[in-house]
């Protein structure tokens, strides 16, 4: 399979990571498909998709165990992202949750550790946990997920808050709300977005406009939906990749260059926001 060179995105530290990664939401939940999920992630590594996103919540830790099996013997190639649940995000709770994730991942460090969403614990507590984990070498960077502009501004007012490496949020053709507020804010502060659910859990893929564009490119609707997000070179994207066929399909989306006509047609069907909206979640 002929593929283009894999583009990268720079984190605030200056380190580059693959723009296209592999998501693991809803993986590690069924023994029946475990081998397929591991094979898919391994193929992704072969294709350069070494950014792997997971979380303690996914499959109650099962997804992290899938990741561990997938990267065995290849850990140094990978950039692993995991997340702490908000109910665990006190200083001590964050440290303990990270320890459990490290054990499931069978690794000595998590490259990027995120607060999954806002919860009861104060941000100061979570940041203190992140800083302790960095000091011990258990994590390399920290970031957040599902934070809106107000959340990011609150974070940046705290000591050390500007060390945030990314904000992972919902973004796809149908969920463009961040374009009117959060995305410009993050770009102004050099915080790269990590976009999840580029296919809207498959609901986007039956759209007629998307299908028409896909036919023009001799591609699938999933590839067009993914190419639309990937056209923003400063944004990481982490589609779920639970089968080898889907991994190959996602990787080939990098070879698709959408035309002005494509983008105009898609914008007519999926118009950009005219004003700021609250952050959307799945």
Task: Please answer whether residues 174 and 202 qualify as being in contact, where contact means their C-beta atoms are separated by less than 8 angstroms.
Answer: no
Residue whose entry in the numeric block shows the structure tokens 């979640």:
281
Q: Are strands 8-10 and 16-18 parallel, antiparallel or unpaired?
A: antiparallel
What are the residue numbers of the active site?
58
Phi/psi of residue 280, nearest 5 degrees: -90, 145
Number of other CB atoms surrounding residue 204 within 10 Å:
21
Contacts of 230 (CB under 8 A, 6+ apart): 7, 19, 20, 237, 253, 254
Strand runs labelled E in 93-242 = 110-115, 139-145, 167-170, 193-196, 236-237
β-bridge partners, 139: 110
Cα dihedral 71→131→114→233 (10° resolution): -80
Tell me the C-alpha distance between 157 and 162, whole Å. Answer: 8
Phi/psi of residue 130, nearest 5 degrees: -60, -45
Tell me the C-alpha distance between 130 and 2, whole Å. Answer: 41
Task: Please answer whether residues 266 and 173 qualify as being in contact, where contact means their C-beta atoms are separated by less than 8 angstroms.
Answer: yes
């Amino acid at each position: 399979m002929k593929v283009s060179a894999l583009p990268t995105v720079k984190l605030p530290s200056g380190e580059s990571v693959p723009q296209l990664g592999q998501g693991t939401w809803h993986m590690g939940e069924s023994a029946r498909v475990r081998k397929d999920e591991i094979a898919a992630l391994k193929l992704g590594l072969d294709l350069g998709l070494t950014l792997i996103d997971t979380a303690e919540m996914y499959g109650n830790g099962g997804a992290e165990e899938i990741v561990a099996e997938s990267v065995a013997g290849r850990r140094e190639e990978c950039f692993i992202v995991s997340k702490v649940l908000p109910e665990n995000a006190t200083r001590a709770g964050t440290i303990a949750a990270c320890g459990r994730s490290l054990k499931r991942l069978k690794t000595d460090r998590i490259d990027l550790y995120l607060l999954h969403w806002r919860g009861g614990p104060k941000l100061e507590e979570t940041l203190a946990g992140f800083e302790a984990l960095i000091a011990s070498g258990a994590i390399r960077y920290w970031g957040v997920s599902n934070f809106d502009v107000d959340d990011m501004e609150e974070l940046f007012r705290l000591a050390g808050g500007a060390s945030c490496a990314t904000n992972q949020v919902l973004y796809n053709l149908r969920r463009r709300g961040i374009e009117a507020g959060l995305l410009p804010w993050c770009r102004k502060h050099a915080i790269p977005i990590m976009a999840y659910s580029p296919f809207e859990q498959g609901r986007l893929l039956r759209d007629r406009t998307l299908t028409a564009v896909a036919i023009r490119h001799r591609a699938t609707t999933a590839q067009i939906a993914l190419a639309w997000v990937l056209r923003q070179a400063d944004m990481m994207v982490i589609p779920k990749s639970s089968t080898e066929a889907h991994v190959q399909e996602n990787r080939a989306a990098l070879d698709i260059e959408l035309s002005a006509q494509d983008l105009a047609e898609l914008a007519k069907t999926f118009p950009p926001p005219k004003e700021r909206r609250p952050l959307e979640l799945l």
